[in-house]
């Protein structure tokens, strides 16, 4: 092999050849890119050997820390057998075993696993399954080919996922490509449009949704939601019981409930899946990010026997679900995902979360008095700190102030990597984070927010 390129050379080639996701490249080209070469536990290590706390879990995917021995071993073990073979007309042991394990930990009633590659494709699979289900199972129930979604929803970046999403900044310019949907106002307790507080808001929040379901259920194939927390919208949390009520309404009006657990799945909210907090089983559930413990791209759409059976028939009835990807059921991804679930069992990960969640709550509460901290929202080990210009009026900082970005830059200089969502400072540590690391993360967030008032 040629000489190992220097750290400087790599930075230069990055700026010359790469196009980074969700990144204004004009700005990027002016900055020194941070090039991560290694990782260990909660730390990322750059090409200069500098260590950073991974405050985003590498954008919400890592669970048990980097270079976990059980996950590393599973991946190495599988690569000695085969890296990939197709799931079209063939099967492979890791895909089979993982499907079985997923059904064991999934909300009761989910019984089938369909693999894909990432959160967006898992959502696309759910949408297509829902539409085809109604065609084949209840053709007289109405057209049932539209979806109800919440405002500020984020379900991924492919065109179908964008159609059911609603983050204006990401989606507006693609309007001509998107299919029509119905939209409902999500709960947003800090900025409640009705000026209500929990629990008096409980029915008010859901009445408009019930009206839509009542009048449009013949058009609706499904209602897609991020259960419990709209993460990309800025960690907007749904009040207790909200999801259970959505489940009741969907059942009553014969609309499939699609839970997008891509961000919330695998312990992030304190339970294996967010749906469990409300005792809900969706009709379709999309998972990805944490599925492989943050190692490899892999996703799955889980569904019920009722939906699965609607696709059965003789070949020439063409009830087949005609969908799949080149890497569907990739053995490397499935092997490491199996190891991820093994770590959950062996290390009793879910049990270990309670004290960390309480500690995070306590640490975040200590930021509440800061002049620019408007709202602190936490669900499990997902947290958002909304910064405001005026605490009393909740007046937001204007976008050009790039307030979240400024805090993240200050945090990076102090050894913590975070990525804001607009004016919301986001902290999503790995589930394996230690008490000391968690304390240090919030301390750095405090210092970084403090730099704002220092000018």
Ligand X SMILES: *Cc1c(COP(=O)(O)O)cnc(C)c1O
Annotated binding site: 119-120, 154, 260, 289, 324-326, 419
Q: How far apart are CA 291 and CA 267, in angstroms?
A: 10
Closer residue to ligand X, CB minimum distance, 250 or 263: 263
Q: 84-93 burial by CB neighbour count: b if 16+ within 10 A, else e?
A: eeebeeeebe
Q: Which residues belong to the annotated binding site for substrate? A: 154, 289, 324, 419
Q: Whole-angstrom Cα distance, residue 156 to residue 152?
A: 12
Residue 404: phi, psi to the nearest 5?
-65, -40
CB of 399 to ligand X, least distance (A): 22
Count interface residues toward ligand X (CB under 6 A): 15
381: its two tokens = 């080990």
DSSP character string of 80-96: TT-S---SSS---HHHH
From 56, 62, 78, 120, residue interacting with ligand X (rule: CB under 6 A): 120
Q: Which is nearer to ligand X, 256 or 410 (CB)?
A: 256
CB 419 within 8 A of CB 408: yes
280 CB-side CA count, 13 A:
31
Please give the Cα distance from 37 to 43 (Å, whole number): 11
Q: Which of 119, 186, 222, 267 binds ligand X (CB under 6 A)?
A: 119
Q: Point out which span in 42-50, 91-99, 113-121, 307-315 binds ligand X (CB under 6 A).
A: 113-121
CB of 225 to ligand X, least distance (A): 10
Contact code string over 253-292 relative to ligand X, x by CB under 6 A: -------x-xx------------------------xx---
**Tokens (6 digits) for 218:** 């013949």
Q: Of 126, 231, 257, 442, which one interacts with ligand X (CB under 6 A)? A: 231
In this structure, the strands spanning 256-260 and 284-287 are parallel
Q: What residue number has its CB nearest to ligand X?
A: 119
CA pair distance 403, 231, nearest whole angstrom: 19
Please, which residue, 260 or 386, has the CB nearer to ligand X? 260
Q: Binding mask 144-183 vs ligand X (x if CB under 6 A, - otherwise)?
A: ----------xxx---------------------------
Least distance from ligand X to the Cβ atom of residue 185, Å: 18
State the residues that interact with ligand X by CB under 6 A.
118-120, 123, 154-156, 226, 231-232, 260, 262-263, 288-289
């Amino acid at each position: 092999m040629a000489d190992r390129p220097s750290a400087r050379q790599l930075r230069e080639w990055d700026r010359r050849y790469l196009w980074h996701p969700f990144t204004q490249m004009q700005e990027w080209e002016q900055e020194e890119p941070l090039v991560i070469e290694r990782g260990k536990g909660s730390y990322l290590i750059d090409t200069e050997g500098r260590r950073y706390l991974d405050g985003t879990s590498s954008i919400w995917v890592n669970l048990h820390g980097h270079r976990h021995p059980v996950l590393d071993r599973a991946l190495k073990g599988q690569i000695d057998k085969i890296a990939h073979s197709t799931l079209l007309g063939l099967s492979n042991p890791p895909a089979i075993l993982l499907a079985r394990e997923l059904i064991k930990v999934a909300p009761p009633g989910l019984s089938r696993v369909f693999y894909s590659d990432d959160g967006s494709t898992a959502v696309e699979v759910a949408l297509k399954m829902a539409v085809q289900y109604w065609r084949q199972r209840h053709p007289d129930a109405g057209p049932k080919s539209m979806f109800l979604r919440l405002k500020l929803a984020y379900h991924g970046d492919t065109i179908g996922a964008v159609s059911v999403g609603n983050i204006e900044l990401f989606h507006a310019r693609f309007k001509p490509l998107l299919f029509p949907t119905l939209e409902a106002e999500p709960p947003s307790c800090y900025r409640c449009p009705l000026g209500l507080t929990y629990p008096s808001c409980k029915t008010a929040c859901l009445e408009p949704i019930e009206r839509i379901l009542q009048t449009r259920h013949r058009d609706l194939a499904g209602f897609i939601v991020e259960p419990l927390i709209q993460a990309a919208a800025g960690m907007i949390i749904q009040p207790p019981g909200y999801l259970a009520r959505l489940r009741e309404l969907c059942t009553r009006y014969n609309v499939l409930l699609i839970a997008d657990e891509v961000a919330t799945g695998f312990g992030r909210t304190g339970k294996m899946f967010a749906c469990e907090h409300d005792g809900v089983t969706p009709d379709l559930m999309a998972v990805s990010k944490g599925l492989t413990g943050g190692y490899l791209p892999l996703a799955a759409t889980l569904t019920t026997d009722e939906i699965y059976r609607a696709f059965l028939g003789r070949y020439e009835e063409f009830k087949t679900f005609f969908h799949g990807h080149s890497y569907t059921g990739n053995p490397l991804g499935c092997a490491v995902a199996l190891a991820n679930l093994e770590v959950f069992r062996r290390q009793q990960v879910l049990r270990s979360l309670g004290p960390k969640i309480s500690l995070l709550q306590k640490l975040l509460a200590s930021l509440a008095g800061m002049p620019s901290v408007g709202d602190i929202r936490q669900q499990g080990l997902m947290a958002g700190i909304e910064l405001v210009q005026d605490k009393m009026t909740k007046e937001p900082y204007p976008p050009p102030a790039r307030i979240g970005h400024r805090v993240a830059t200050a945090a990076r200089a102090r050894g913590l990597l975070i990525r804001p969502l607009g004016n919301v400072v986001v902290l999503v540590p790995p589930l394996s984070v230690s008490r000391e690391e968690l304390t240090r993360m919030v301390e750095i967030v405090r210092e970084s927010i403090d730099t704002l008032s220092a000018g």
